[in-house]
Structure 1
């Protein structure tokens, strides 16, 4: 695996308006990190393809159809795991247990044709019964991952169909926090009885994605796709490092593409002037990060380095972009907002408006819901985001998109609300 990390190439570039007005303090930049030669194919072929754990909800609410499709989904994922990869399958209801390898103690099997066939046989034995305690599932997965070397890429797929009713929110939070940094997890909810916010909390803390699978029959193709993506990641772990000068304050660090993820609170002190922010595993891809730094104000004509943004794999810095500040009294220069910064700021506001609006609607606060979702329609319209506008149309009647004048629909499909909610954190790439 270390060999693969060494082969991967990273490039960093910053997009910003470096001009600040006299007395201005806040510098915003979008830093794009592009990875190449980071594919996981070579790593997997060398037997260092990491660790995969498949976690499937087997609670009573899954029912016969759900369990059958869950087994097919687990099978589809198992077929994508490359030989040499370490793997396990966990079933969860109000408890959690290791279905494969069949052992009373947590452990992993090495993927090969015999173990793949045995695991596929084991998942056919899934039975639906009991409640839902996702914290138990996560803790069981953590125990399994901790039997593998920490240097390997560690990834889980978690599937649920319901709300977390058999443990307290605090118990779930404790489980999530104890798994953060141990493994990454992509989470999927099937049907309309799970809670997007709850599952998003898990995926966000574990540097993964959350999405809706409307029908059980769609699970297998989604599992296949998620596992294929995971297999392509040849860099197990990387860190975004942000240096800011003495006296400066890093206001925030957010991933803004391909989805929105606020990394600010996950800062690790690298040294007194540098913070490290986790990015998880990489394949050949690019991601955009929004970095905001507050500097002590300087007078017109002065300039300084506002931030150094680096991508590090282990202790090796692979790429660097510089964020600059120049103070000017030329309004034509200082008033310009960089288009990348502007568009991603708008997309973050759009996501917040959608999530707040749906939460207000669920709580019966109709005026607030109308106002927030109206603002979302206005932002989507301004950005020319036709896909988000069409999702919003399933939840509100749009009287005037430009002013954000809307009415809440009386009859709304729960799946349409959930699809809007999960799509809110996915961003559209801003072109150069």
Structure 2
């Protein structure tokens, strides 16, 4: 374990869990990397990634943009638009003094209704009151083009380049019908790395895969709010989490020795997120994987490295794992926050080489749980009941075995569980669309290894 800290900033710790012993000729090394940030709080000190000069000039430490779907469907029923206004007001009340913020009304176009001049306001009692008054102008009419909303948020954030922590909330009730998939993909790509985004779908007429695509690329969360009455508390909670972030643009840097290759990198807690394809080269034999912004929290990552085969008795460093911040100037060097080591030792002791790390085994199961749920629901939509039953049966078995009680309860709303240990299930009749979408949306949420 390695630890590094700065005054008034979070302390980062990293712990590596693995079975370092490999059989003669084996090449695959697996490790769970637990990263914990503590002591950052929600105020005081310069956020990492913001220069001292920017701080001295009075720069805010965070910026938020709330994107509210105002398409015509938000009036059917009218409680959706009413709930969206109340939720946005609750989020505005949660924005702390000094934070830059804006509210965007999204249809087939995007219009910033507050402050309304193409910039970000600075939160105070007065501006929060003005922003809540402006919500009267949120009315339902028009289409849905989420890429346009993201582009507007990106443009607003770019007016304050001195702010390191940028976070958005996106609410919708429908499909992205008024732009094609390529337009949305381009907007997501342009926004990626500029800000993080939490996405919420209200009701059941939106697509999980669309919102998951946005939230995954922008390192946020996705969830369903089945009833509009639940929006306010959800928005309040999301904004409180955003206000707790103190470190922006943190990367998981993995260095490997010659002839070793990183096979995959996945966040596995608090939710499964595959980061493998998002590697950015960071010097000889090193790559950075984005993790976004951090407050007081802990996350787990599964790292798999393929190393050159070696004979019994050999030992090597398979990977060096670091948490780093990018350089704040062109001539500067990245800042290492914490680091740990992944090792490989070849042995002919069968008991040692066949023992699976409990952490690795657990999170391999959690990743399989998520994919089983998603594949099962997809098969059910396609009419393949046998495959759907087999996949959701496997999900029930894994959820039961690993103590993922939250997912197990969601599965019980979709299938009747005959035998949880064996994964024997039957599809329930008349499953609500809300229950099915809730299971799909929350399929990636995991539980941590029991101590």
TM range (shorter): over 0.9
Show the counterpart of 1:67: 81
Which residue does the alignment assign to 1:205? 217
Q: Which residue of 2 aligns with 1:117?
A: 129
Comparing 277-286 and 362-371, the one that deviates more: 362-371
Q: Report the Cα offset of residue 21 of structure 1.
A: 0.2
Secondary structure at the counterpart of residue 147 of structure 1: helix
Q: Is the 8 A contact 2:59 2:162 kept in 1?
A: no
2:197 to 162, 180, 185: 185
Q: What SS class does the counterpart of residue 382 from structure 1 fall into?
A: helix
CA distance in 2, matches of 1:246, 1:308: 13
Q: Give 2:398's aligned residue.
A: 379
Contact kept? 1:52, 1:87, Cα under 8 Å? yes
- Counterpart in 1 of 2:383? 364
- Check if 1:30 corresponds to 2:32: yes
Q: 1:52-84, CA deviations, whole angstroms, 9 ceiling, x for partnerless residues?
A: 001011111111221111111111111111111
Q: Note if 1:320 corresponds to 2:334.
A: no
Aligned mates of 1:258, 1:167 — CA distance in 2: 32
| Corresponding position of 1:415 | 434
2 CA distance for matches of 1:251 and 1:397?
A: 37
Shift of 1:141: 0.8
Looking at structure 1, the residues matched to 8 and 249 of structure 2 have their Cα atoms a distance apart, in angstroms, of 12
Gap runs ≥5 in structure 2: 48-54, 327-333
Aligned mates of 2:382, 2:109 — CA distance in 1? 30
Distance 1:86 1:397 in 2: 49
Residue in 2 that maps onto 1:279: 291
Q: Secondary structure at the match of 1:124?
A: helix
Shift of 1:165: 1.4
Q: Does 1:217 align with 2:229?
A: yes
5 Å-filtered alignment, 1:49-128, equals 49-63=61-75, 64-103=78-117, 106-128=118-140
Which SS does the other structure have where 2:159 is aligned?
Answer: coil
Match of 1:152 among 145, 150, 164: 164
Q: Report how far residue 403 of structure 1 moved.
A: 2.5
Q: CA deviation at 1:145?
A: 1.0
Compared CA separation, residues 210 and 5, structure 1 to 2 (3 A): farther
* RMSD of equivalent CA atoms: 1.7
2: distance between equivalents of 1:318 and 1:283? Answer: 14
Determine helix, strand or coil for the equivalent of 2:254: strand
Note the residue ranges of structure 1 that are not aligned, 5 or more in a row. Answer: none
Aligned pair count reads 428
1:309 CA drift (Å): 0.4
Compute the TM-score of the two structures, normalised by the length of structure 2.
Answer: 0.92
- 1:42 is the counterpart of 2:82: no
In structure 2, the residue matched to 1:175 is: 187
Q: Which residue of 2 aligns with 1:263?
A: 275
Give the structure 2 partner of residue 136 of structure 1: 148
Deviates more, 1:218-227 or 1:369-378: 369-378
Q: Displacement, 1:32?
A: 0.6
Deviation at 1:49, TM superposition (A): 2.6
Equivalences for residues 226-375 of structure 1 within 5 A: 226-314=238-326, 315-375=334-394
Asked if 1 retains the 8 angstrom alpha-carbon contact of 2:9 and 2:246, the reply is no
Secondary structure in structure 2 of the residue aligned to 1:271: coil
| Equivalent position of 1:391 in the other structure | 410
Using the TM superposition, give the Cα deviation of residue 409 of structure 1 relative to its aligned residue in structure 2, in angstroms: 2.1
User: How far apart in 2 are the matches of 1:404 and 1:138?
Assistant: 41
1:48 to partner: Cα distance: 2.6
Return the alpha-carbon distance in structure 1 between the equivalents of residues 404 and 132 of structure 2. 42
Contact preservation (8 Å) 2:265, 2:275: yes
Cα–Cα, structure 1 residues 150 and 262, in superposed 2: closer, same or farther, change >3 Å?
Answer: farther
